[in-house]
Amino acid sequence: MNKKYVFANWKMYLDNDESLSLAAEFANEFKNLPENIKMAVFPSALSFLSVIKPLQDAQISVGAQNVHWVEKGGYTGEVSAHMYKSAGAEYVLVGHSERRHLFHETNHQVREKVEAILSVGLTPVVCVGETGKEREENKAEEVIEIQIKSAYHNIVWPEGRDIFVAYEPVWAVGTGTPCDPVEAERMHNLIKKQVVALTGITPVILYGGSVRPDNAQKYLNNPDINGVLVGGASANFQHWKEIVESIE
Ligand code: 13P
């Protein structure tokens, strides 16, 4: 059976009490998910340690939204990949569009993070996507290719570790305007081809950007789309439940 990944990026939406109660609802509802569905939650750094136990007890993986690439040191406000590993994380989002565009994260920093994440035994989920302007100027493919190349060129990928990419067009993230599923499928195929050419490994590719209960099934039931990375709707129990239930 085709495996589907449902990854919930809670961004900075929930305080600690809200994170704890949503984690409890997730754990209760999704503790017996079928084997073909893999769920992961990316809570805030603050709430990571409060939610990890209930989620992991329910077989839901937990990941970090961002990391610093140095292991330890004088980097006020940062949390390293090593620290997340020691706290039980499995995945890390890297190069999310909000990191790239609001915090000016570069392709070079994304690469530093990917290497640091791999070196401590975690799995990076590399987010790529073009802006609306880049799409209008017919530069979407070029931008994605540069982002993919800088993340994976000449990288030594650990044996048995999956490669996760999230295609998240910047213009679709948090806007209510999702990418048409046929176009998302085209971009996924382009990304797949490029990752295979660089690494020899077929990646898991998720779609992200305004996934909601009323459109989720178009992505989740497309064989070229391995799953979804959801922001806003994943921080709402009822919306998330409906999204997960739309997997056929
Ligand atoms: P939204 O689902 O809120 O558009 O966010 C998508 C996203 O950025 C997931 O990482």
- Paired tokens of 220: 């989740």
For residues 60 and 40, the answer to whether their CB atoms sit within 8 Å is: yes
Ligand 1 centroid–CA 139 distance in Å is: 22
Q: What is the pLDDT of residue 244?
A: 98
Identify the burial level of 120 via C-beta atoms within 10 angstroms of its C-beta, where 0-12 means exposed, 13-18 middle and 19 or more buried.
middle
- Paired tokens of 51: 């939610």
Task: Show Cβ contacts of residue 184 under 8 Å, excluding neighbours closer than 6 positions.
Answer: 167, 207, 219, 222, 225
- Which CATH number belongs to the domain containing residue 126 in this structure? 3.20.20.70
Structurally, how many domains does the chain consist of? 1
- Please report, in tens digits, the pLDDT of each residue of the chain (248 residues total): 689 999 999 999 999 999 999 999 999 999 999 999 999 999 999 999 999 999 999 999 999 999 999 999 999 999 999 999 999 999 999 999 999 999 999 999 999 999 999 999 999 999 999 999 999 999 999 999 999 999 999 999 999 999 999 999 999 999 999 999 999 999 999 999 999 999 999 999 999 999 999 999 999 999 999 999 999 999 999 999 999 999 98
Residue nearest atom 5 in ligand 1 by C-alpha distance: 231
Ligand 1 centroid–CA 63 distance in Å is: 15
The atom of ligand 1 lying closest to the CA of 172 is: 4
What is the residue whose two structure tokens read 């100027």?
137
Q: Which domain holds residue 78?
A: 4-245
| 95/124 Cα distance (integer angstroms) | 10
pLDDT in tens, 172-218: 999 999 999 999 999 999 999 999 999 999 999 999 999 999 999 99
Ligand 1 centroid–CA 74 distance in Å is: 31
Residue nearest atom 1 in ligand 1 by C-alpha distance: 231
Q: Secondary structure of the chain: what % helix, strand, coil (to 5)?
A: 45, 15, 40
Residue 128: its H or E element: strand 123-128
The atom of ligand 1 lying closest to the CA of 93 is: 10
Q: How far apart, in Å, do the first and last CA atoms of the chain sit?
A: 11
Q: What is the pLDDT of residue 2?
A: 84
**Ligand 1 site residues, Cβ closer than 6 angstroms:** 9, 96, 168, 173-174, 208-211, 229-233
For residues 79 and 64, the answer to whether their CB atoms sit within 8 Å is: yes
What is the residue whose two structure tokens read 């790529």?
128
Closest C-alpha among 56, 42, 16, 17 to residue 166:
42
For residues 124 and 96, the answer to whether their CB atoms sit within 8 Å is: no
Closest C-alpha among 58, 59, 52, 42 to residue 20:
52
DSSP state at residue 158: P
